[in-house]
């Protein structure tokens, strides 16, 4: 058995406009890195966290990566101890699955060290133990599943957990603008409506079905028509400065559609080529800068690999 491993787990875009809590996909960058070391002395410890500005706890019970690791180690009956380093390469509260990336990296790393006793899909419940710390005790599997399995995923059910990968066009690109603001996921869930009109639900179901059909058949027109959220986006977009302006500039630049990534503030757009994705990114950043807000720009294909071993 190897004694040390370093892994990378990618960021993820979830909800994907119309698919609240049930859709997501992984991107190439940003992401988190974790180093695990097997120790003779029992117990799990976090020796170092970088890139978090001192905001994350070193206590593994209170840390998303730590809680996930504890759950998996207990399930596997691990007698050795584990020392973990967490290197945050993405902003907290970005809407890009920061907590999920850390949780996924920890369980993926341990599973690799132990010779892959579990499949990636079987690791989902353990990674979800970390997500419970960030969402008020009721985890959702969209970020975790997209990050862990790679590609585009549909969370068909949480009980039992049933996650399905679907194919996407090879030329589909994602543009992400991350305004340098932090939005708390738990807070953004509290402002959502508890009841919705049946007419809105029917529109949303149609868009979900249309998006899946468009992705699996490579029908870009259908993808674009389906990237509409009539339930969540109108409420959460209020918290993101300049959202409508940024979205409109992306569409004018040729993007298929544009919406909020996760709970925000990151905004994503899908395009049918890298050229259009870059053009949309430039326009979105210009719109963001025009309201005097700094941000980061990422352009990526759909990351079909998910987490990977670095060394």
* Active-site residue, from 14, 64, 129, 131: 131
Q: What letter would DSSP give residue 238?
A: G
pLDDT value of position 136: 64
- In angstroms, the first-to-last Cα distance of the chain is 14
**Domain residue limits, the chain:** 4-166, 173-301
Residues near 53 by beta carbon (within 8 Å), at least 6 away in sequence: none
> Residue range 73-90: average pLDDT?
96
CATH number, domain 173-301: 3.30.70.890
pLDDT in tens, 106-158: 999 999 999 999 999 999 999 999 988 887 667 789 999 999 999 999 999 99
Averaged confidence pLDDT in the chain? 95
What average pLDDT does range 182-189 have in this prediction?
73
- Contact present, 178 and 294 (Cβ < 8 Å): no
- Confidence band of 184 (pLDDT split at 50, 70, 90): confident
Q: Residues 24-45: what's their mean pLDDT?
A: 96
Distance, in Å, from the CA atom of 307 to the CA atom of 105, rounded to the nearest integer, reads 7
Q: What is the pLDDT of residue 169?
A: 97
Question: Would you say residue 34 has pLDDT above 90?
Answer: yes
Full-model pTM: 0.95
Q: Give the chain's largest Cα–Cα span.
A: 60
Domain 4-166 class in CATH:
alpha beta
Structure tokens at 256: 């298929």
Neighbours of 196 (CB within 10 A): 13
Establish whether 185 is a catalytic residue: yes
The tens digit of pLDDT for each residue in 209-261 reads 999 999 999 999 999 999 999 999 999 999 999 999 999 999 999 999 999 99
Query: In the sheet that 257-260 helps form, which strands lie side by side, from edge to edge?
Result: 257-260, 267-271, 173-179, 295-301
| Tally of CB atoms within 10 A around 209 | 12
pLDDT at 89: 95
Q: Which of 185, 188, 233, 249 is catalytic?
A: 185
Q: Which of 226, 229, 224 is nearest to 196 (CA)?
A: 229
Q: Is 283 exposed, middle or buried (0-12, 13-18, 19+ CB in 10 A)?
A: buried
Instruction: Give me the sign of the Cα torsion angle 246, 284, 100, 57.
Output: negative
pLDDT value of residue 137:
62
Please state, for a pLDDT cut of 90, what percent of the chain lies above it.
90
Any catalytic annotation for residue 252?
A: no
Predicted confidence (pLDDT) at residue 1 exceeds the cutoff of 70: no
State how far the Cα of 268 lies from the Cα of 251, in Å rounded to an integer: 11
So what's the pLDDT on residue 140?
87
Q: What is the DSSP letter of 282?
A: H
The answer, yes or no, to whether residue 187 has pLDDT greater than 80, is no
Residue 183 has pLDDT above 80, yes or no: no
């Amino acid at each position: 058995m190897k004694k040390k491993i370093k892994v990378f787990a990618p960021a993820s875009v979830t909800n994907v406009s119309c698919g609240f809590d049930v859709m997501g996909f992984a991107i190439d960058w940003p992401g988190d890195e974790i180093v695990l070391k097997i120790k003779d002395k029992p117990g799990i410890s976090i020796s170092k966290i970088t890139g978090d500005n001192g905001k994350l706890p070193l206590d593994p019970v209170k840390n998303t990566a730590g809680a996930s690791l504890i759950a998996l180690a207990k399930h596997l009956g691990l007698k050795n101890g584990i020392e973990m380093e967490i290197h945050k390469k993405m902003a907290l509260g970005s809407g890009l699955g920061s907590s999920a990336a850390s949780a996924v990296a920890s369980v993926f790393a341990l599973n690799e060290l132990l010779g892959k006793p579990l499949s990636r899909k079987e690791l989902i419940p353990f990674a979800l133990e970390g997500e419970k710390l960030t969402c008020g005790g009721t985890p959702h599997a969209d970020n975790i599943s997209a990050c862990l399995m790679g590609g585009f995923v549909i969370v068909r059910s949480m009980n039992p957990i049933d996650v399905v990968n679907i194919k996407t066009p090879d030329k589909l690109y994602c543009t992400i603008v991350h305004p340098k603001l932090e939005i708390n996921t738990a807070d953004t869930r509290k402002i959502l409506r508890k009841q919705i009109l049946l007419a809105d639900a029917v529109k949303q179901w149609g868009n979900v079905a249309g998006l899946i059909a468009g992705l699996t058949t490579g029908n870009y027109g259908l993808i674009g028509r389906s990237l509409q959220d009539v339930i969540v986006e109108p409420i959460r977009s209020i918290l993101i400065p300049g959202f409508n302006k940024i979205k409109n500039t992306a569409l004018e630049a040729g993007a298929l559609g544009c919406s909020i990534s996760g709970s925000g503030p990151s905004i994503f757009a899908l395009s049918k080529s890298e050229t259009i994705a870059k053009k949309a990114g430039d326009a979105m950043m210009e719109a963001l800068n025009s309201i005097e807000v700094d941000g980061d720009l990422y352009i990526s294909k759909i990351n079909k690999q998910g987490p990977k071993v670095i060394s």
